Chain A
Amino acid sequence: MGMTKRIIFGAVAILLVIAAAYAAFFIAPEERTMGLIQRIFYFHAATAWAGEMTFFVCFLANLLYVWKRQPKYDWLGVSSAEVGLACITVVLITGPVWAHPVWGIWWTWDARLTSTFVLWLLYVSYLLLRTLIEEPDRRALLSALFGIFAFLDVPLVFFSIRWWRTQHPQPVIMGGSGSGLDPTMSKVFFFSVLAMHVLAAFLIVERYVLEKMKSEFDFLAREVEAQ
């Protein structure tokens, strides 16, 4: 992607996020019981969706790398893992900010929270693994394989906790999107989802370009050293 296109893409992403923020604060109606704090939902859930999508992109990139062995899939894998991790970090911070006034506690070991946290840990391990292998091809292959194992684990983590760790009474979690959302709220929410996806895509593109330059630089540095 050329420089001009990237700048336009970035401008669109930032404008969308600003518009989503405006919609979340001023257009969406105030929730009756939770009040103002409920507005964090538009960022929290939208970022979560974008983060999960990003990890799915990472999984596809990992599979493609193992299959095709082209460095571009490795670059895409690391870029999407980092952006996804940033998204999930935002989710894990905005969640407790919302939960404390509404549930009265910062954290509970509920299925969705816990599996998101394990997801975060798995991708931290993925990035950590990458820093501990020097040789580029081996790093790409082994981290891609770990990424595949990690992604396969995510549904298992979710259902194991959902079926066996949520028997005790828990604070009521919001009944998911769609269940009883006011039409305006729902429009604002899906607009936020769109904005966050575009932002995540923009960040992945930028990170990809950076990774590509880094890899080219490493290659040249090794060439020079060899001479």
Chain B
Amino acid sequence: MSLFSNTAVLLGKELRTEFRSRELLTTTVVFILVVLILFSFAISPTTEESREFGPGLLWLAILFAASLMLQPCFLREQSNDTLSSLRLAVSDPFSIFLAKLIANTLFLLLTELIMLPFFAIFYNVPVLPEFHWLLLVLFLGSLGISVAGTALSAISAQARMRELLLPLLLLPLLTPVLVVSATVTVSLFEREPIVRGKGIAFLAVFDVVFLTALWLFGEYLLEE
């Protein structure tokens, strides 16, 4: 039980820290917007092409944004020197990761939901007809990004060149999430039900594999 109560307290702390300033959310939203607009300048797609390539660009923008957004996750603790007290405060260090990754998933989902209307308008794609499925893909994809990203940001925070290192470690690792989320999103816009179930199951498998790995090895990431 202490895992859940610890996680709940830490999650409250993460959310309070962010919603006091909202710096992370605002900068991420603006970043995704800038990237999406630059993409459409770079390829100037027609409606047909938008439906085919739009989701890929959207997920790429989310991936880039996440690799920047996840930077402060452990860096903040390190620069304030709060990591050791956090570790002393909880019985299971996994709750630190759990709180951070839930917070990161929520932040990512929130930015995605803010971006979705803009994406739908700029790229002229129908997001509403299959909205519940889209929400599920966004959730599973963001969860995968957050699980792997939270683990790797604990690694990169302890290295030199950390701002460059995190995207370098994270982006190749997230290839499966990009491939599958983008394909499933395309199939939602084009109303192909075949890809959907398998893709969503695959995303869930990715999330479970990395959650289990984090649960097994997370405590070593925080060793001094």
Footprint of B on A, CB under 8 Å?
66, 118, 121-122, 125, 128-129, 132-134, 138, 141-142, 145-146, 148-150, 152-153, 156-157, 159-161, 163-165
Contacts and interface: CB of A to CB of B under 8 A. Distances in A.
B68 interface: no
Contacts of B199: 164
Contact of A133 (B159, B179, B220): B159
B134 interface: no
B165 A132 contact: yes
B209 A146 contact: no
B40 interface: no
B76 to A, nearest CB: 19
Contacts of A146: 152, 155, 169
A160 B175 contact: yes
B209 A145 contact: no
Given A157-B176, A161-B179, A66 B168 contact: no
Nearest to A153: B173
B180 A152 contact: no
Please classify the interface of chain B as helix (H, G, I), strand (E, B), loop, or mixed, using the class held by over half of its residues.
helix
A129 B165 contact: yes
Interface residues of B, number: 31
22 contacts: A121-B172, A122-B172, A125-B168, A125-B169, A132-B160, A132-B161, A141-B223, A142-B159, A145-B220, A148-B213, A152-B209, A152-B210, A153-B172, A153-B176, A156-B176, A156-B205, A156-B209, A160-B179, A160-B202, A163-B202, A164-B183, A165-B179
Contact of A129 (B151, B169, B179, B198): B169
Contacts of B148: 149
Interface of B: 148, 151-152, 155, 158-161, 165, 168-169, 172-173, 175-176, 179-180, 183, 195, 198-199, 202, 205-206, 209-210, 213, 217, 220-221, 223
Contacts of B158: 133, 138, 142
Given A148-B217, A164-B179, A164-B180, A128 B165 contact: yes
Contacts of B195: 164
A152 B152 CA distance: 14
Contact of B159 (A132, A149, A153, A156): A132
Contacts of B213: 148-149, 152
A145 B179 contact: no
A24 B213 CA distance: 43
B159 A122 contact: no
B169 A156 contact: no
Contacts of B210: 149, 152
Nearest to B178: A160
B209 A157 contact: no
A128 B220 CA distance: 20
Given A146-B169, A149-B210, 19 more contacts: A129-B165, A129-B169, A133-B159, A141-B220, A142-B158, A145-B217, A146-B155, A148-B213, A149-B173, A152-B213, A153-B173, A156-B176, A157-B176, A159-B176, A159-B202, A161-B179, A164-B179, A164-B195, A165-B183
